[in-house]
Structure 1
Amino acid sequence: MVPFGGWDMPVQYQGVKAEHAAVREDAGMFDVSHMGEFRISGPDAETFLQYVTTNDVAKLKPGRAQYNWLPGETGGLIDDIYIYRVAADEFLMVVNASNIGKDWAHLQTQVGSYEVQLRDESDAWGLIAVQGPKSEEKLQPHCTADLSRRTKNSYFAARLFGMDVWLARTGYTGEDGFEVFVAADEAEAMWNKLLAIGLTPAGLGARDTLRLEAGFPLYGHEFSDTIHPLSSTYTWVVKDKEHLGRAHIGLPPQMKLIGLALDKVPVREGYPVLLNGAAVGHITSGSSSPTLGHPIAMALVSADAADADTYEVEVRGKAHAARRVALPFYKRV
């Protein structure tokens, strides 16, 4: 157990490799109840969200969800988020645990004359992410909704094990799965029910190796309030519309996020990335890949040095060869 975003979180239960394999091959579950949930409602809810985010919220129909960004006015990102449309004038925003207070204060300052109501429901919800190719198969016998008819980014009410829940076909592992929003006082009961049908509990360690293989950025590593968000490969998150911080995001990024593969030596956040012996950037996330069998990493490097085929990563004073590879490292066929 380690401190994480103001919570005590499990790094592992039976071991990172076993938990990682369960999610890639079968189905695992993560307690992500530490995430924050904000309810945004009112006649101007959509208009407000269109201004404070970069993606096109207007495209969301009730029962649909999208990945999105909260941009700063002159810096990087306040946070990267998920938005779920409940109804024409009602949305749920899920934010990173460590950013709950910052995000809440930011949204409050942007309300202005918008006819919108914000409610922090973070303490009201438990959230369990069920992830893996057999997620649907394992959940269906216990769920009132026909899961086979729910496509990626669906968001819908159902009963699971007799409990009222909201389910979202989203996730952060590169696999199929459902995030289970359940009342906080029923979260432990839900966890035990899921455990009883053979889902493997997984901790922060497996979450990190899974998301890294899938090329998913993590706030505080690949994104922050000082990193230009278009350094990443996620340019599609910014749509052509008026939004907070548009002028800044329109400037070309000075850094680029790249994928690196190494033969043997795992590399960690902060390690220098070298090109022809000169430092051109640093590792943002790195680990040994259980699926691929060798170390992988994401790195921010100078934009003018981002197209090289090979680099070196400095580990305790020694340079180790690394080759640039396309992101994501892993994608289910």
Structure 2
Amino acid sequence: KRISVEGGKAPDFLLGLKGKAEEIWEKAPSVFVPEKPYFIGCKDLKGEGKRVLYEAKAPERELSPTPLTEWHKRAGARMAPFGGYLMPLWYSSALSEHRAVRERAGLFDLGHMGVFEVSGRYAESFLNLVTTNYAGWLHPGQSQYGFLLDPLGKVIDDLMVYRVSSDRFILIVNAANELKDWDWLCAVNEGKALLDFERPWIEPDGPVTLKNLKEAEGLVDLALQGPASRSILVRLLSGRDKHRLVALRRTEFLELSLLGTEILCARTGYTGEPLGYELLVPKSAAEKIWEALLDAEKDKGLLPCGLAARDSLRTEAGLPLYGHELSGPEEILPHEAGFAPYVKLHKPFFIGRSAYLKALADWKKEVVRFAIEPGQRPVRAGTPVVDKSGTVVGKVTSCVVLEEGQVGMALVPRDLAQPGTPLGFVISSGTSGEPKIGARLPLILWGKVVPRFLRKETLPAPGEE
């Protein structure tokens, strides 16, 4: 690589050297570290780099079970492939499991989710480089939501970042993107990936240690969600851990001893419930803990839940799914999905920042949440959306049928995002060409935009779930 400095004057305190920046570069290049992702004056560096745009790869893999797959089969679950794993869709029905989480509690097998560890002296700096959120704000025991972007500003994945200690973090990533995310993080860490088109020579501040915790330590993710989840979980804890769990605030986590097994318990979730936990447990203890939770307090109505209920819950809550409300054919970006606050633009640099700023300046479309009255035909993802004049303006990204009617999300122009705005959904007739007598024309079902996220009542006080 060849790098030069253009313009500007070096500060007098710079090792006693005076003069223009390019003169200092010629005399004492060691005072510069041009490979750093960001420093004041870095824009004055001009040069060349050999790195080219890296496309993260996701190699094919065989369909795998989770440590609980055989339990699901014995319980009569409807099984199907998802994200490279054989997963339960439902046990009784998606609707009854959905209702259990909203009214009582539900237990989910998330053994398909990716679990990575980033550790070492440069772990925080590395995560500030590759994610849109600010890892430096996290104290040990705290977590945050964020995104992985490529240099073009496109979404690679969304993820949760958990800070275990000053130099150790755990990442939870989507199952469908697990191998792609791993490849991308390794490429950045090894200096193979282009990080910025304007400064193609930059690289991370230093190396980190990346570890796939599912493979290396056999960790499995379980989720206990719903208003009764805390009262169920405390029954399996010691007195001290009970108090620690009750004091746990949203997005915080701690290490607990559950049935003699050390686990990581986070107050996070993907259901829209204000109270719920995700548990990282060793696969050797996964079935024992799973069954103990289900048996802990049957009168609370805890049900095992499949992916269908998880999808309906997150859709009702307005939470995005990669490929639907994030990225996908429409290349939906975080601000368009309703998650602009998780892209910290006060950070002077992260991968994709320059391209993201340009996209933000040209913000034209937005994901909205909508509702349709009960008794109508089901609306599916991909259904065309029309405005009140009948003009096609977007399409549905997700939709579920609940007892109260249908609720879903759609990508539409920003001027249609206000709650109360009428939207029409075109149900195809399956005919083409000039309609004949007796032919069925497309049907338009009408609904309206509702608040972007599900409104929940105030969280009950401890012991009043």
Q: Which residue pairs with 1:51 in the alignment?
A: 129
Q: Which residue pairs with 1:133 in the alignment?
A: 227
Q: 1:252-301 deviations in whole A, cap 9, x for unaligned?
A: 333211111112333111000112222111000001134xx011110011
Say which of 113, 122, 129 aligns to 1:35: 113
Say which of 279, 284, 303 aligns to 1:185: 284
Say which of 78, 81, 85 aligns to 1:3: 81
Q: Which residue pairs with 2:402 in the alignment?
A: 289
Distance, in Å, in 2 between the alignment partners of 1:42 and 1:18 is: 45
Say which of 201, 208, 211 aligns to 2:311: 208
Q: 1:60-93 deviations in whole A, cap 9, x for unaligned?
A: 0001111111112214211010000000000000
> Is the CA contact (8 Å cut-off) linking 2:95 and 2:402 kept in structure 1?
no
Distance, in Å, in 1 between the alignment partners of 2:383 and 2:213 is: 38
More strand per residue: 1
Q: CA deviation at 1:196?
A: 1.3
> Is the CA contact (8 Å cut-off) linking 1:71 and 1:245 kept in structure 2?
yes
Q: Which residue pairs with 1:103 in the alignment?
A: 181
Say which of 4, 15, 18 aligns to 2:96: 18
The code of the aligned residue for 2:262 comes to: D
Distance, in Å, in 2 between the alignment partners of 1:5 and 1:159 is: 30
TM-score scaled by length of structure 1: 0.95
254-263 or 223-232, which moves further after superposition? 223-232
Q: 1:174-194 deviations in whole A, cap 9, x for unaligned?
A: 211111110012111111111
Distance, in Å, in 1 between the alignment partners of 2:380 and 2:151 is: 31
Partner SS, residue 331 of structure 1: coil
Distance, in Å, in 2 between the alignment partners of 1:332 and 1:315 is: 34
1:319 counterpart = 2:429: no
> Is the CA contact (8 Å cut-off) linking 1:280 and 1:305 kept in structure 2?
no
> Is the CA contact (8 Å cut-off) linking 1:259 and 1:329 kept in structure 2?
no
Q: Which residue pairs with 2:353 in the alignment?
A: 246
1:128-277 equivalences in 2 (<5 Å): 128-144=222-238, 145=241, 146=243, 147-175=245-273, 176-197=275-296, 198=298, 199-224=302-327, 226-239=331-344, 240-241=346-347, 242-250=349-357, 251-252=359-360, 253-263=363-373, 264-275=376-387, 276-277=389-390
The code of the aligned residue for 2:226 comes to: G
104-113 or 63-72, which moves further after superposition? 104-113
1:300-315 equivalences in 2 (<5 Å): 300-307=411-418, 309-315=421-427
239-248 or 31-40, which moves further after superposition? 239-248
Q: CA deviation at 1:246?
A: 0.6
Partner SS, residue 85 of structure 1: strand
Q: CA deviation at 1:326?
A: 1.2
322-331 or 208-217, which moves further after superposition? 322-331
Q: CA deviation at 1:330?
A: 4.2
Distance, in Å, in 2 between the alignment partners of 1:195 and 1:35 is: 21
Distance, in Å, in 1 between the alignment partners of 2:454 and 2:427 is: 22
Q: CA deviation at 1:304?
A: 4.8
Larger RCO of the pair (alpha carbons < 8 Å, separation 6+): 1
Q: Larger Cα Rg: Structure 1 or Structure 2? A: 2
Q: Which residue pairs with 2:31 in the alignment?
A: none
Q: 1:97-155 deviations in whole A, cap 9, x for unaligned?
A: 01011001111121135221111112311111000111111111212422111111111
Q: Indicate the percent of aligned positions where both proteins have the same amino acid.
A: 39
Q: CA deviation at 1:303?
A: 3.3
Distance, in Å, in 2 between the alignment partners of 1:247 and 1:190 is: 46
Distance, in Å, in 1 between the alignment partners of 2:142 and 2:188 is: 24
Distance, in Å, in 1 between the alignment partners of 2:416 and 2:97 is: 36
> Is the CA contact (8 Å cut-off) linking 1:271 and 1:283 kept in structure 2?
yes
Distance, in Å, in 2 between the alignment partners of 1:169 and 1:329 is: 18
Count of aligned residue pairs for this structure pair: 331
Q: 1:288-320 deviations in whole A, cap 9, x for unaligned?
A: 134xx0111100113354458112111123111
> Is the CA contact (8 Å cut-off) linking 2:334 and 2:343 kept in structure 1?
no
Partner SS, residue 176 of structure 2: helix
Could you tell me which runs of 5 or more consecutive residues in structure 2 were left unpaired when the two chains were aligned: 1-78, 192-203, 429-441, 459-465
The code of the aligned residue for 2:408 comes to: A
The code of the aligned residue for 1:188 comes to: E
> Is the CA contact (8 Å cut-off) linking 1:78 and 1:103 kept in structure 2?
yes
Say which of 124, 127, 140 aligns to 1:62: 140
RMSD: 1.5
Distance, in Å, in 2 between the alignment partners of 1:200 and 1:52 is: 38
> Is the CA contact (8 Å cut-off) linking 1:43 and 1:89 kept in structure 2?
yes
92-101 or 9-18, which moves further after superposition? 9-18
> Is the CA contact (8 Å cut-off) linking 1:38 and 1:121 kept in structure 2?
yes
Q: CA deviation at 1:56?
A: 1.1
> Is the CA contact (8 Å cut-off) linking 1:214 and 1:329 kept in structure 2?
yes
Distance, in Å, in 2 between the alignment partners of 1:63 and 1:44 is: 19
Q: Which residue pairs with 1:278 in the alignment?
A: 391
TM-score scaled by length of structure 2: 0.69
> Is the CA contact (8 Å cut-off) linking 1:230 and 1:249 kept in structure 2?
no
